[in-house]
Structure formats: structure tokens, C-alpha cells
Amino acid sequence: MQIALWRDMLDPYYLAVDELLVKFNHIISSYHREGKYSPIEEVNGRVKSISSMLDKARRKKIPIDQLEQNLDDIAGIRIICQFVEDIYKVAGLIRTRKDMEIKIEKDYIANPKPSGYRSYHIIVWYKVETISGTRKIPVEIQIRTLAMNFWATIEHSLQYKYRSQMPKDLSDKLKSSAQSIVQLDSEMSLVRDEIMDAQNSSRIRDNLINDILNDIQNLYKVANKREVEKIQDEFFKVYQKEDIVLLRRFSEQLNITVEDYGAQSL
């Protein structure tokens, strides 16, 4: 990569990160819309900063004009999951996609780094359409739990502070806290089903309340105001009972009323 033209060079990488963020966020919202647990908790992305690229080039003895050919993580996506099991589910999901071609997979969960770092990395080939044509570029997707991310973020800041000279007592502390993270992740996995159930119920309830309020709002435009206010009062009574079955029944009945008024398309 010619550093003088770095802005132009990095353009396809920015596009890839933007597109992939849209796609992974869409996966999250699709699960949520269906009232389902999403294996992806959140996703973020970045294009590696020039200074970080230069640092890596120096560390790995990569000639400056060969950065693009040698760095797989100029475009980076980070997927955060709640549980270790979700990481492998997300990796499976990525493998099935037609818009990403696997280049390399690195399982630093089964084989943690000497530092204690754990994460699942997949490097994919991803095609972007630019004004100069199609570009196929590598994108590094790091998949990790919230707990792994907490550890990696802190360790990364310390690595940055000490460069390659981290005091031994500090690196020992980090290794031991990495073990605590392993323990925490495996304890959380034991209650995964219960946590997923709780989160699903809460999401289903949110979706139901949203649908009901939309229906009431639509009815308000076409039905008798007093009747709509009566429906709203009934809704508040059902809502206060904190019973999902009653809420679902109310929503179904309201749907029929809405259909009778032909108000769905409003």
C-alpha cells in the first residue's frame, strides 16, 4: 500500500466494514423481530488506523508497500456474544453465507494465546463494488463473549502502554484473570437456557405490547373514539396483570377488531 495514497487505498475497507455492520445488525434484528434469542449480542467494526498498520508492519517486518498483501485485519469486525456456545453458532452461520468466503479460521478459545487471549477469528474474503470495479478484500471477524471482550480490551490497553515490556507481575495477573474469565464463561453457560428463556419472554412481551399499541393507534384513526378508549383501558388492565398468555389473547382479539375495521394498512 502506498502510504501517500492511504485514503484511496482504505476506501474499499471502509465500504466492507459498513456493509458487514449492516448485515450483522440485520441478523440481530431478524432474531429479535421473531421474538427469538440472538446469538449475536452486538457488533462493531473498524478500519485499522494507519499508525496501528505501521506498528504491525514494523513488528512483522512487512515492507510498507506490501501492507495490503500481508495484513488480513485492515478491515475488522468484532462480534460480541453472551455465551461461548453462541460463538460457534455464529461461526457456523458465517460459514453458510454466500457473500463471505472463508480464508482462515483461528480458534483461540480451544487454543488460547500465551497471553491468555481467547477469541474465535475468521478471516473471510469479501467482495465490494467500488467505482473502479469489484474488489475482493480480506476482513478479520473476531467473535468473543462479553467476558472475553472485557479481558481483551483491558489487556490490549496495557499492551499498548508497555509495548513489549509488560512487567512480569502484571502479565501474571492478566493470565490469572484470563482463567477467571474461562470460569465465568463456563458458569454462565450452565444457566444459558434459563437466561435465554428470560430474554425471549421479555422480547416476546415487548413485541406484543408494541403490536397492541400500533393496533390501538391505527384504530384511533378509523373507529369510534370512545370504543378505542375502552380498548385502551382494557389493555391497561391486562398489562397490569403481568400475564403473557392474557396479553397474547388480548392482542389476537384486537387483531380481529382491527381486521374488521380494515385498519391494518394504516
- The contact set with ligand 0O2 (CB under 6 A) reads 48, 52, 56, 73, 106, 113, 115, 117, 121, 152, 155-156
Least CB distance to ligand 0O2 at residue 3 (A): 17
Q: Look up 227 and say whether it is catalytic.
A: no
- Residues contacting residue 216 through CB under 8 Å, at least 6 positions apart: 228, 231, 232, 235, 254
Least CB distance to ligand 0O2 at residue 26 (A): 25
The residues facing 79 across adjacent strands are 43, 143
**Residue 17 near residue 75, CB atoms below 8 Å:** yes
Least CB distance to ligand 0O2 at residue 88 (A): 18
Nearer to ligand 0O2, 35 or 112 (CB): 112
The residues facing 121 across adjacent strands are 106, 142
Give me the catalytic one of 85, 101, 105, 140: 140
Nearer to ligand 0O2, 6 or 26 (CB): 6
Three cell numbers written together for 24? 450483522
Which runs of consecutive H residues, i.e. helices, occur in the chain? 6-33, 50-59, 67-70, 84-96, 146-162, 168-190, 192-222, 225-240, 244-261
Nearer to ligand 0O2, 100 or 254 (CB): 100
Give dist(CA 201, CA 207) in Å, integer.
10
Least CB distance to ligand 0O2 at residue 141 (A): 11
Nearer to ligand 0O2, 155 or 185 (CB): 155
Q: Which residues are catalytic?
A: 140
